[in-house]
Amino acid sequence: MDRDEQFMRMALAEAEKALREGEVPVGAVVVLGGEVIASAHNGPVALKDPTAHAEILALRMAAAAEGNYRLAGTTLYVTIEPCLMCAGALIHARVSRLVFGAPDPKGGAVGSLYRVLEDARLNHRVDVTGGVLKEACSEILSRFFREKRL
Residues taking part in catalysis: 55
Neighbours of 22 (CB within 10 A): 12
Q: DSSP labels for the chain? A: --HHHHHHHHHHHHHHHHHHTTS---EEEEEETTEEEEEEE--HHHHT-TT--HHHHHHHHHHHHHTSS--TTEEEEEEE---HHHHHHHHHHT--EEEEEE--TTT-TBTTS-BGGG-TTSS---EEEE-TTHHHHHHHHHHHHHHHH-
Closest of 30, 14, 36 to residue 69, by C-alpha:
30
